[in-house]
């Protein structure tokens, strides 16, 4: 019976050591999602790919539906009487649908290119013809050259420290010291 207890104690100690090791590795924050995913085992990676493929096919299906609806709106607009209010509204709806599709495509490409502020990047590309290639798609190389702050790898400013002043060499004071000086103490 004494040997059984020692064997159980050894397993418990080994399990504790393994749990502590697992906990240390799980507490470490991975650099990014791609790095974390590469470190996962094969079944986890396959599960992720299966999940993502379903989402991508759903997204593609929604985009195709939007394109079909835009085409139908344009056909209805062309069938409507020239210069009528109905025709103008249908053409406006078709243009809105086209813009929404282009924006969705842009957001997907911008995310893959490392753009941190997708909305601001979309506005910049819409305002500047120089940020689009011949086919009208965004040129992310030029966008990064002209607006590096839009990208996630742009130099980040250090966190501010209240009372530290504008530079790290500035004297550090606190509110109490400032109040005492103001009171003449």
Same domain, 102 and 126: no
Domain that holds residue 71: 42-113
At residue 24, the pLDDT reads: 43
Per-residue pLDDT of the chain (185 residues; tens, 9 = 90+): 445 544 444 545 455 444 444 444 555 666 778 888 888 899 998 888 888 877 777 777 788 888 888 888 788 878 878 878 888 888 888 888 888 888 888 888 888 888 888 899 989 998 888 888 888 788 888 998 998 888 876 555 556 655 555 566 666 677 888 888 899 87
- Residues 105 and 120 grouped into a single domain: no
Residues 70 and 60 in one domain: yes
How far lies 62's CA from each of 7, 41, 58, 74, 139, in Å? 59, 32, 6, 18, 25
Counted domains in the chain = 2
Please indicate, yes or no, whether residues 147 and 90 belong to a single structural domain of this protein: no
Reduced to 3 states (helix: H, G, I; strand: E, B; else coil), residue 41 is coil
The reply to whether 35 falls in a domain is no
Look up residue 85 and give its two tokens. 């209010």
CA 158 distance to own-chain centroid: 21
Q: Is residue 130 part of a domain?
A: yes
Shared-domain flag, residues 91 and 124:
no
User: What pLDDT, on the 0 to 100 scale, is given for residue 82?
Assistant: 81
What separation in angstroms does the CA of 126 have from each of 50, 111, 129, 175? Answer: 35, 17, 7, 47
pLDDT value at residue 84:
83
Distances (CA, A) of 16 to 8, 11, 21, 140, 164: 12, 8, 9, 50, 45
């Amino acid at each position: 019976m004494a040997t059984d207890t020692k064997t159980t104690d050894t397993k418990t100690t080994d399990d504790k050591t393994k749990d502590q090791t697992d906990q240390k590795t799980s507490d470490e924050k991975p650099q990014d999602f791609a790095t974390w995913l590469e470190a996962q085992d094969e079944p986890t990676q396959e599960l992720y790919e299966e999940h993502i493929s379903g989402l991508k096919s759903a997204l593609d299906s929604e985009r195709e539906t939007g394109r079909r609806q835009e085409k139908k709106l344009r056909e209805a607009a062309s069938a409507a009487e020239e210069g009528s209010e109905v025709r103008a509204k249908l053409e406006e709806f078709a243009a809105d649908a086209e813009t929404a599709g282009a924006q969705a495509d842009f957001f997907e490409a911008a995310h893959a290119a490392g753009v941190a502020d997708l909305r601001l990047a979309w506005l910049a590309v819409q305002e500047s013809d120089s940020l689009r290639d011949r086919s009208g798609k965004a040129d992310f190389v030029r966008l990064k050259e002209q607006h590096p702050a839009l990208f996630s790898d742009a130099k980040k400013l250090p966190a501010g420290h209240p009372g530290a002043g504008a530079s790290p060499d500035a004297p550090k004071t606190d509110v109490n010291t400032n109040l005492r000086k103001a009171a003449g103490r």
